[in-house]
Structure 1
């Protein structure tokens, strides 16, 4: 993968972890948030919760607003919003999402998380405990360009994990679990 290519991600679940992943992704030049799925939250409420986070404070990097019921605008960047309860029905491939961050806490075993692959995702990152998905711990890694990419892992509680970014998770496994 070239160093100038952005990793396109989708997020399933726009609760605490999903919004945290979105905040980090939107501040990185090598990651592009292309889609969010949450069947229980309207785009208006997604916008409100993202702007006024009770832990991280008010979002001040660029404006976020609702374009329509299926699109959020982060500055000029359009992000597609889906509202499907079934991961198999989420068309991740249509948005170009290569990685899906599974942050609902519901689809945590291999078979359930693999449903995202049917929608076109290439890999799934599970953000909650899993009984059968592999666990990955990454602290630093050398890129092909010999630059060191450092990661911070925040392990305050099980549901407040800061995920290492997908560029580091390019492995043969399609399902990855990060603690």
Structure 2
């Protein structure tokens, strides 16, 4: 499979690093408006995951990494990219700018065969969560949204707890600050997002419920918010569920422990260890249920799930590449 990445932000750069070691998948090209010298520097040195322990350099429109050469473009419009000439099977659309069908289709018109978003796209793009409904993919689908990191975490919680029966669920996602926030106070359409990210605990608006409503028949029974906290990596989902019948803490933990030991092993983990956010950096799972923090009062259940919002999410995108590759 020949792959290109459009948009070299946090997710795009982490995918670049990880695609260097994926058997049967060749990273052919990347596109971002930033100067290539700056991109090479950011690929070489990463404040979260450390330096790239491979020689990397720029060579006349190419990025050379340990004998491999990747084309580097700086086009704002994907229609100007010659994906057909490069034989691109899959574009990983990581810019955040082309998440509508009309936007993502620009890559198809440029000659790519398929497009995988790095976010939840518009409602006319299939929303397929790996480990939940990826089997709905068929050969006719050319653009897929794999959801976001919060959707991937929340989906599996809802699905597994539905085995008991859910009346309502409220998700509170404590999330590391992101590039959509500011380092110092400034103007922003969402006033709180304009406050200094490393100085405050900041509630922000999210569209998680819109995504979950597309996946579950629970419309009007779900609510969600996110609170950004002053750490650079990691997230914690604090979910309160009102169940249709009384349950025990042991019963709830047993559901997730069994899932982690069977079909869900690649996307879900379970632990009773007393974790903090630093402990999940580099974890490949979409969620790690912290059984030590599960609590139950009558029919009300509180669950805590950790996830690395970058490494866990890119792990699912790599899963998608291998899964889709088998269909091409």
- Deviation (angstroms), 1:88: 1.2
Mapped pair 1:27 → 2:21: yes
Q: How does 1:96-115 map to 2 (within 5 A)?
A: 96-115=87-106
Distance 2:5 2:16 in 1: 8
- In structure 2, relative to structure 1, the CA distance for the partners of 1:105 and 1:171 (3 Å cut) is farther
Mapped pair 1:48 → 2:41: yes
Q: How does 1:46-125 map to 2 (within 5 A)?
A: 46-60=39-53, 62-68=54-60, 70-125=61-116
Q: 8 Å contact 1:16–1:160 — kept in the other structure?
A: no
Q: 8 Å contact 1:128–1:158 — kept in the other structure?
A: no
Larger radius of gyration: 2
Q: 8 Å contact 2:90–2:112 — kept in the other structure?
A: yes
Deviations 1:108-134 (A, max 9, x none): 011110110111110000101212211
Q: 8 Å contact 1:13–1:37 — kept in the other structure?
A: yes
TM-score (normalizing by structure 1): 0.78
- Deviation (angstroms), 1:33: 0.4
What secondary structure does 2:5 align onto? strand
- In structure 2, relative to structure 1, the CA distance for the partners of 1:86 and 1:160 (3 Å cut) is farther
TM-score (normalizing by structure 2): 0.44
Q: Unpaired runs of 5+ in structure 1?
A: 1-6, 142-149, 173-179
* Aligned CA-pair RMSD: 2.6
